[in-house]
Amino acid sequence: MKVAVFGATGLVGGVMLEVLKEQNFPVTELIPIASERSAGKIIEFGGKQWTVVVPQEGLDKKPDIALFSAGADRSLEWAPKFAAQGCYVVDNSSAWRMDPTKKLVIPEINGDVITAEDKIIANPNCSTIQMLVALAPLHRKYNIKRIVVSTYQAITGTGMKALKQLENERNGIMDGPMAYPYAIDKNCIPHCDVFLENGYTKEEMKLVNETHKILDPAIEVSPTAVRVPVVGGHSESVNVEFEKPYTVDEAREILRNSDGVKVLDDPDKLEYPMARFAQHKDEVQVGRMRADLYNERVLNMWVVADNLRKGAATNTVQIAKLLIKKGYLK
């Protein structure tokens, strides 16, 4: 199978290659694609060396599937060209997520919506993926009415420039390139992506809109997204109100038996999810599950996942594997 990775030299692209390798994805020919400045670089994969090519060269090689992680503008320009020649595209940018003609997929939740005709499939935002993997099983049982979520998002969600900014600041270099309007070291910035007219940021509205598209348009979502000086792993404080009665023990057991979820919830042993221990793992970790003090239909929980893996690369590869399982990719 000819597999293109569009954005192969970026943070997420590099993790996509790791996940493809770990999951034994049937790659017979790798087509690493990047911008002109990265063209000609060599990538090691599957015991062979592969040369990075520019988008047109990658298109000319006619891949069977292309995993995109090169930003919305590149996806809008190139994904339709790949799809037009029969290539399946799984796109990790925001380009197609809210397009009503494109499916927005988390395999554990709504993988069944994909059809053979879906040549461009959108990968949700990282913070949405981990929240919904944890909440979808509970929604099926108790019917979620409202979600109040605060995110604590790692700088790797911004990219290489953010990593460089943090590294510079920790080394006392304060005049280097800035990914954020303020110092991120020893700081929390309540500002992820650009501000919109309603006072929320684009990152916050992704949590709203993507939850509506994937899970249920009737769910009320009240988000706050914060950037924190953590290198890898997003954390979320989630306050969820159900329409039906629940118990913490039952909810915990539901999640213990849900695909893609790992429950770490034993305060007596100081067991709870943390970004440090979620790094390089594919599961969504859930803990600190406790009943609200004032509303018997409300549950509080702490949700953590590696934003570059389940939040991006792993979910993308899972969609690709689903295409094989359904018989669309051979």
Active-site positions read: 126, 234
What are the helix (H) ranges across the chain? 11-22, 55-60, 72-84, 107-110, 126-142, 160-170, 202-214, 248-256, 275-278, 314-325
Which backbone phi and psi does 171 adopt, to 5 degrees? -105, 10
Do residues 38 and 14 make contact, with C-beta atoms less than 8 angstroms apart?
A: no
Q: How many helices (H) and strands (E) does the chain have?
A: 10, 14
Output the CA angle 33-323-80, nearest 5 degrees.
45
Q: Cα 82 from chain centroid?
A: 22
Torsion of Cα atoms, 101 then 102 then 105 then 109, to 10°:
10
Q: What CA–CA distance (Å, rounded) separates 211 from 132?
A: 7
Total count of residues recorded for the chain: 330
**Which is it for the CA torsion 74, 80, 85, 87, positive or negative?**
positive
Distances in Å between the Cα of 4 and the Cα atoms of 78, 249, 265, 297, 322 are: 12, 44, 40, 47, 17
**Considering all CA atoms of the chain, what is the largest pairwise distance in Å, rounded to the nearest integer?**
61
Task: State whether residue 304 is helix, strand or coil.
Answer: strand
* Pairing of β 298-305 and β 284-291: antiparallel
> Residues 112-149, buried b or exposed e (16+ Cβ, 10 A)?
eebeeebbbbbbbbbbbbbbbbbbbbbbeebebbbbbb
